[in-house]
Amino acid sequence: MNVALDGTPLTVGLGGIARYTAELHRALSACFPADSFTLVSDRPDPPASWLERRWWTVGVQRAMGRLGASLFHGTDFAVPYLPLRPSVLTIHDLSPWKDPDWHCAAARVRRRTPFLVRLGLATMVITPSEAVRREAMERFRLAPSRVVATPLAAAPHFRPVETPRGAYFLYVGALEPRKNLAMLVAAWREVKRSHQVGLVIAGRRRADFPALPEEPGLRLAGEVADDELPRLYSGALACVYPSLYEGFGLPVLEAMQCGAAVITSRDPAITETAAGAALEIDARDARGWVEALRLAASNPELVEELRALSLKRARQFSWERTARLTYEVYQEAMARFGS
């Protein structure tokens, strides 16, 4: 099999979709050495011809023709507009359609993806969780046989690190409206009245997210290098993830694979990922979050119990498993195309 994967997410910086694209490509190449998996992008270097700039109609077809690719995997909500070959489309979540305030630059995705899916331009659809699979089938009126839930995994370098245990809660992820960070900061402020515990927020601030004011105990770490994240996760009192909505909750799994205690929102996809190994609170329950943070700050036995549960749960995921499940979807797309 000769597969072209959309590598554009890797050209626009860090983030969950970029990590998904990179790790899936690496795992597919390792698991299936007799096959070919190539990243292609609408941002080639050197610059493409005028025809290739019309990427989704002409450029991607020319690129696949040069490669001899038999299938395209759209890792970021898009596939070629001309169905000349089978394709697989990954829908990471339905956040672009749930609340327009969550995404300042998702208008193109909101318009394009439903068109690609409903007209059958995507032969098969992948989602990262059963929760998103159910949502996608309902919203886009997809037959169950066309949509497959393929869970993600944490990269191998996420593992426990010997480091002094710090008195801080840790949030890792983008700083954007959907992540519910204002509520988290307010809950932490309440807890620090009675407990000496800090809050570290690590991640890129999106343009539509207001800057958080500086204050004692709050550390805005910005984007943290991948090789530094395991130390941050391992040293935290607990990792906190109060997101209003997720497709999988990859930072939750990364924290678990580092042996961190996790406190997270009771979101359907995160609940599916954590499977009882995290302390879950409704995302909008401000008082519940105060109580959960206070409990973690005052109950070391609970924190150690959550750490053990995290490691046990994380062992059930791997990028090798994700790659093999994805390969099965490729085979199904090849069999279905044109039939």
Report pLDDT for 339: 65
Containing H/E element for 72? strand 71-74
Average pLDDT over the chain, rounded to whole?
93
pLDDT class of 74 with cuts at 50, 70, 90: very high
Tens of pLDDT along 93-120?
Answer: 999 999 878 876 677 888 899 999 988 8
As a dihedral over the C-alpha atoms of residue 22, residue 25, residue 26, residue 30, rounded to 10 degrees, the angle is 170
pTM of the model: 0.92
CATH homologous superfamily of domain 2-153+318-336?
Glycogen Phosphorylase B; (3.40.50.2000)
Mean pLDDT over residues 171-194, rounded?
Answer: 96
| pLDDT tens-digit series, residues 254-265 | 999 999 999 999
Assigned CATH for 168-314 = 3.40.50.2000
Average pLDDT over residues 12-31: 91
pLDDT of residue 14: 67
Distance of CA 82 to the CA centre of its chain: 28
Q: pLDDT band at residue 65, thresholds of 50, 70 and 90? A: very high
CATH 3.40.50.2000 residue ranges for the chain: 2-153+318-336, 168-314
* pLDDT of res. 271: 98
| End-to-end alpha carbon distance in the chain | 19
Whole-angstrom Cα distance, residue 24 to residue 83? Answer: 23
Beta strands in 210-313 (DSSP E): 218-222, 238-241, 262-265, 279-281
Q: Does residue 50 register a pLDDT over 70?
A: no
pLDDT at 12: 74
pLDDT digits (tens, 9 = 90+) for 240-289: 999 999 999 999 999 999 999 999 999 999 999 999 999 999 999 999 99
